[in-house]
Amino acid sequence: MRGLRWVLLVLVLLLGWLQYRFWFSAASSGQVVALENQVAHQKRENAGLQERNDALAAEVEDLKSGEAAVEERARSELGMIKPGEKFYRVVEPVSSIPPPADDNASESEAETP
């Protein structure tokens, strides 16, 4: 009987120690969940960066292999035109209506002697 009590006491202490390690140690369940969330966030970020890298690699390949991409870039970014072409620039008309006056500014001017 006395030996059974010792075994039971040792098992209860072992259970308590394991529960303590599970909830409060360096590798506790809360930290595991936090690390899993961090890993998921990093995977999403890596996937976005991989998509960007793939797009850039495709653009580099397009610029190396074809003239159409180079011509498009020259036209859009540098404003270049081919000989014999005419360049037309469309300018938006400026509105002749003055902007509305600020009510607070007119009140403060009226109150100042």
pLDDT tens by residue, 72-81: 888 888 888 8
Is residue 49 included in any domain, yes or no?
Answer: yes
Q: What is the mean pLDDT of residues 35-64?
A: 93
Q: Each residue of 75-100: b (16+ CB within 10 Å) or e?
A: eeeeeeeeeeeeeeeeeeeeeeeeee
- Which residue range(s) make up the domain with 13? 2-81
Q: How many domains does the chain have?
A: 1
Question: Both tokens of residue 77?
Answer: 């970014």
Report if residue 99 sits inside a domain. no
d(C-alpha 64, C-alpha 60), whole Å: 6
Average pLDDT over residues 44-57: 96
Instruction: Give yes or no for residue 24 having a pLDDT over 80.
Output: no
Is it the case that residue 111 has pLDDT exceeding 70? no
Please compute the mean of the pLDDT values over residues 27-56 and round it to a whole number.
91
Give a yes or no: residue 69 inside a domain. yes
Is 111 inside any structural domain? no
Report d(CA 113, CA 98) in Å as an integer.
27
Q: Are 49 and 41 in contact (CB under 8 A)?
A: no
